[in-house]
Amino acid sequence: MKFKYIYFLIIVLISSCNSNKDLKFVKFGGYAQGTTYSISYFDKNGTNYQHDIDSILKDFDNSLSIYNPKSLVSRINMNEADDIGNDNYFRKAFIKSLEVSKISDGAFDITVCPLVNAWGFGFKHSVPIDKHLVDSLMQFVGYKLIELKGNKIVKKDSRVMLDFNAIAQGYSVDIISRYLESKDISNYIVEIGGEVFAKGKKLNGELWKVGIDKPIDNSSEDNRKLQVIIHINNRAIATSGNYRKFVEIDGKKYSHHIDPKTGSSTNNNLLSASVLANDCITADAFGTAFLVLGLEKTKKILGNHPELDAYLIFSNSSGEYEIYYTKGFKNLIVKEIILK
């Protein structure tokens, strides 16, 4: 089994102008949640808040990281804890996850953890995958198998496990954005693992710009190509792609997006879903749900939820790339490059 990873679907395009002497430009980056982050903002004192932000991200991982054996979610998975206490990170992620699960008819499901591990995308080493193993694990998968009653996690089976990876990066973007707001910073852009929230403008009066990659296997810094550039203000964007991360078994590629209803890698013509929402936790969750649902079911959800906008890249019956995007997304496009 060979692993191949595609990182950073979204490239943040940042420039600044020092025309306003009352604000100073601050930019820094680092590592968190197994990926990189980049934060830029304008502050009257030019204060660098990286130390505080790193501390927040560490606390966040102590709640929701399945790769941290001492985190709250890890202890719940190992049945060493069932009381979340005052952990609002966990509470918010859990409630939002169930909300998106219901809207997507189970396409988004945080109990998919045992399947993710078995396929080789989780915190445990993969095992030889076959239909028998998948069927045996499916009995522990389903968002209705777990509840949050007050502060208590209640499982219908002790072998049910949670995986917040499909929502955590987007949620962490919201956490850091709220922190900057608490410091009276109103012009900023936060990017963690390609998920973004931006507010306000640069000092030259321009809105922040975000680029979305073409769905190219094995893309890197050297061969990355942008598909579209948009401007964004007071909204979040998250992109999920079936080409972004996969395993190769006996010469066949399997996407890291697992369908909770079948237990298998998703198999539809939707290659990439970039979702705009009022917060990044929502955008991130729906991006994953859409990749599982496929094009037509995604269109139905978008039609019923005008608070969401999306840019979808899919392959037609001839294997050629095509684009679908909502009216709200169209209004934000600065530049679009034709897919080839």
Residue 132 vs residues 129, 136, 229, 248, 329: alpha-carbon distances, Å: 8, 6, 45, 20, 43
Q: What is the rounded CA–CA span in Å between residue 337 and residue 329?
A: 15
pLDDT band at 249 (very low <50, low <70, confident <90, very high): very low
Residue ranges and CATH numbers for the domains of the chain are 2-336 (3.10.520.10)
- Whether the CB-CB separation of 133 and 118 falls below 8 Å is answered with yes
Q: What is the rounded CA–CA span in Å between residue 284 and residue 304?
A: 18
- Whether the CB-CB separation of 254 and 17 falls below 8 Å is answered with no
Residues with Cβ within 8 Å of 285's Cβ and at least 6 positions away in sequence, in order, are 96, 97, 100, 108, 166, 167, 170
* 3-class DSSP state of 279: coil
Q: Which residue has the higher pLDDT, 261 or 329?
A: 329
Q: Which residue has the higher pLDDT, 270 or 189?
A: 189
- Whether the CB-CB separation of 198 and 83 falls below 8 Å is answered with no
**In the prediction, which pLDDT does 3 show?**
32
pLDDT band at 6 (very low <50, low <70, confident <90, very high): very low
Which amino acid is it at 327?
K
pLDDT band at 336 (very low <50, low <70, confident <90, very high): confident
Considering the entire predicted model, what is its pTM?
0.87
Q: Which of 12, 58, 41 is nearest to 181 (CA)?
A: 41
**pLDDT tens per residue, range 110-169:** 999 878 776 666 555 555 566 777 777 889 999 999 999 999 999 999 999 999 999 999
